[in-house]
Amino acid sequence: MNIDPNQIKLKTMKKRTITAGILLSLTILTGSVMAQKQAPLYKNAKAPITQRVESLMKQMTLDEKIMQLTQGNAGQNDNQNNQGEKIKGVDPLIGSLIYTGTDVEYRNRIQKEALEDTRLGIPVLFGYDVIHGFRTVYPIPLAQACSWNPALATQSCNIAARESYLTGINWTFAPMIDVARDPRWGRVAEGYGEDPYTNAIFCRAAVKGFQGENISNPYSIASCLKHFVGYGLSEGGRDYHYSDVSPQSLWETYLPPYEAGVKAGAATVMSAFNDISGVPASANHYTLTEILKQRWGFKGFVVSDWFSIQQLIAQGAAKDEKEAGYKAFYSGVDMDMGDNIFPEHLKKLVEEKKVPMSRIDDAVSRILTLKFKLGLFEHPYAEMMPESQRYLKEEDKTTVKQMAEESMVLLKNAIQTLPVSNTVKNIAVIGPMAKDQGNLLGSWSGHGRAEDVLSFYNGIEHEFNGQATLQYAQGCDFEGNDQSGFNQATEVATNSDLIVLCLGERREWSGENASRSSIALPTVQQLLLESLKKTGKPIVVVLSNGRPLDLSKIEPLADAIIEAWQPGIQGGAALAGILSGRVNPSGRLAITFPYCTGQIPIYYNMRQSARPTQGLYQDVPTDPLYPFGYGLSYTTYHYGPVRFSSTKIKKNQKLIAEVEVTNTGSKIGKETVLWYISQPVCTITRPIKELKYFEKKEIQPGKTVTYRFEINPMRDLSYIDSNGHKFLEENEYFLLVNGQKLKFEITK
């Protein structure tokens, strides 16, 4: 047999190839088996989160751990109160960043470095102040509360969450749930008003909206309850100032919204700037650790507010940064927002055995747990897509329009000035807010843009197209002494059938670091109204502002007043709908409008005076101009008698109260029933009345709807003492609903 040497060569080559192939496959196989063996558990998406956290922490050095406790910032910075700070170079080991940009590519680049240029590849958590909208800006939280529609608040926050998520923001510093009773404090705009219960309910709604059903789902972002706690009490309404929070008011008024937020599963909490009766909130072991983490079992993490650790020095609670860092961390702050104190000092504090490793591990594991829950290890990058697909969806605009409609409050409507009758053919739209766009966004407007906003003028123009013609005059600016536009405004008004005068506050007059000594509008706006009054034409005053105003000089001159708040991008459409009657106003105040600044503090749930008929002001009325819960409608409602399932119950029994409400007018409306309780005599005196439940329902003209409140005595009738213990007394109570006051008892 002839043997072809080439064949031999070929066979040998084949053999070699096969052998090499087998060897290669074996290598790959063993390699992958080994790799599988070596793949750290924390990278295994299927492993339980606690195990992933543990596995990751085992591999981390102290330096790496401390970097997880650190937050810096990146992107352009729009917050003028933080602008003094240089945008620092980004350390890829950083735990979190406040990302103030919308550039997804840049954000992803930072993330890539964290994942690929570090030993362990821990993703960065990107946060931002998404307070009432990311780009689709909706009404400020104070306005939302006036809608009494928490479901709508959930939907709105959900829009904000999706737009944030699509930009790579996984964490918002919201909701703010600081009960606020001093409208001089600019931050009243950011919370849900003066009542603890209302704050608690809207807090829950917001947490649900941001975090969704499950925080691990796409489009969910982590929420942050802020500012823990008592910040709303800043003395004299001066921001960043001392707040005298008594233990009783802490438990009774300021903590309940936070407890509700923790129960709702809020992922994080922010420690406040203020001093709580001598111990600043960011160094307060009692509130941060004993109450929040131990008593309430909060499993998320606490981030300090911007420079609140360093400020401990100014507040006299620490002599230097090291001591400030120690106090904050020891008290329960887990992440340092922007002060750079943890990365500078924690290591030394550990080495000196002042800070135990167990506390470091506790803080790190809280932060990593959230990163795992958010799915950041599996989906660290934000998807690149055009802005038009990320923001301002049409259906979202409809939702935020409804929120604006329901949050506006009709404060006055003399001789049915509103809705505008079809005999009105010429409308004079006047005032500094009439054509303004940017100010309708309010403070903390995320990435909202003035050009996205439908102004009041444009909204009215669109609504009354074909029915009435519009004439415009600015009249004056928001402030200053220039009255040169008054004449033109008077001329325009004289030729009209109705004046819509749009007044208000610039957006930067409320929000952070925006305290005012007087809550009246600048005199020039009031003078404009006075000069228009001389025309004898009916005047509708439209207000856009971030706080309750002193309207004592405005109210007597206006035929109708609409509080439109800072309504966001659809403000013009919402206002126009109310003017025309397409929308029946259903908002009610979630904060008292004092008669004047000198009445402050004034809120509905004050305690009883020792001499209720004395101690009145000699120079001004003692009652507020518009109380909590006030708001008019275009229809009328009749409340039937409240029915009780029983007037005597035992502590462990439930009591059902029902009331039938009939829409006796001719317009469909949405009526909110506010259920209050009072306990006139108690071991610890109680507020005159306390809101315990509310419900908003739509009622067709001529129809009757039943509202029901199921009273759970321990939840709704108990009081809390200054140690946070709840008590329920066998005693006499009252239920108060729309002018009705009914007695019931808890018996042995």
Among 306, 329, 593, 604, binds ligand NOJ (CB under 6 A): 306
Q: How far is the CB of 318 from ligand NOJ (least distance, A)?
A: 19
To the query of whether residue 716 is one of the catalytic residues in this protein, the response is no
Q: What is the DSSP string of 439-470?
A: GGG-SS-TT--GGG---HHHHHHHHTTTT-EE
Structure tokens at 477: 């600016």
Percent helix, strand, coil in the chain, to 5, is 35, 20, 45
b/e code 38-70 from CB counts within 10 Å (16+ = b): eeeebeeeebebeebbbebbeebeeebbbbbbb
Catalytic residue among 178, 182, 305, 559: 305
> Is position 275 an interface residue for ligand NOJ (rule: CB under 6 A)?
no
Q: How far is the CB of 383 from ligand NOJ (least distance, A)?
A: 25
Report residue 26 CA to chain centroid gap: 58
The dihedrals phi and psi of 400, each to the nearest 5 degrees, come to -75, -25
Among 334, 339, 505, 512, binds ligand NOJ (CB under 6 A): 512
Cis bond upstream, residue 601 (ω within 30): yes
Binding mask 166-195 vs ligand NOJ (x if CB under 6 A, - otherwise)?
Answer: -------x----------------------
Task: Specify the residue, 154 or 304, whose C-beta has the smaller distance to ligand NOJ.
Answer: 304
Q: How far is the CB of 189 from ligand NOJ (least distance, A)?
A: 12
Task: Specify the residue, 65 or 507, whose C-beta has the smaller distance to ligand NOJ.
Answer: 507
Q: How far is the CB of 240 from ligand NOJ (least distance, A)?
A: 9
Among 226, 371, 547, 686, binds ligand NOJ (CB under 6 A): 226
- Spatial CB neighbours of 613, under 8 Å, sequence gap ≥ 6: none
Residue nearest to ligand NOJ (CB): 173
> Is position 305 an interface residue for ligand NOJ (rule: CB under 6 A)?
yes
Q: What is the DSSP string of 167-210?
A: TT--EE---B------TTSGGGGGS--S-HHHHHHHHHHHHHHH
> Is position 129 an interface residue for ligand NOJ (rule: CB under 6 A)?
yes
Q: How many CA atoms lie within 13 A of 128 on its CB side?
A: 30
Q: How far is the CB of 174 from ligand NOJ (least distance, A)?
A: 8
Task: Specify the residue, 272 or 409, whose C-beta has the smaller distance to ligand NOJ.
Answer: 272
Q: How far is the CB of 71 from ligand NOJ (least distance, A)?
A: 9
Task: Specify the residue, 77 or 653, whose C-beta has the smaller distance to ligand NOJ.
Answer: 77
Among 44, 55, 77, 79, binds ligand NOJ (CB under 6 A): 79
How many residues interact with ligand NOJ (rule CB under 6 A)? Answer: 7
- Spatial CB neighbours of 344, under 8 Å, sequence gap ≥ 6: 321, 322, 325
Q: Which of 337, 343, 309 is nearest to 323 (CA)?
A: 309
Amino acid at 708: R
Q: Which of 565, 523, 564 is nearest to 546 (CA)?
A: 565
Cis bond upstream, residue 175 (ω within 30): yes
Q: How far is the CB of 345 from ligand NOJ (least distance, A)?
A: 21
Q: How far is CA 336 from CA 22, 204, 302, 329, in A?
A: 54, 26, 9, 9
Task: Specify the residue, 82 or 136, whose C-beta has the smaller distance to ligand NOJ.
Answer: 82
> Is position 339 an interface residue for ligand NOJ (rule: CB under 6 A)?
no
Task: Specify the residue, 461 or 512, whose C-beta has the smaller distance to ligand NOJ.
Answer: 512
Task: Specify the residue, 254 or 377, whose C-beta has the smaller distance to ligand NOJ.
Answer: 254
Q: Which of 238, 234, 166, 175 is nearest to 209 (CA)?
A: 175
> Which residues participate in catalysis according to the annotation?
305
Residues near ligand NOJ (CB under 6 A) are 79, 129, 173, 226, 305-306, 512
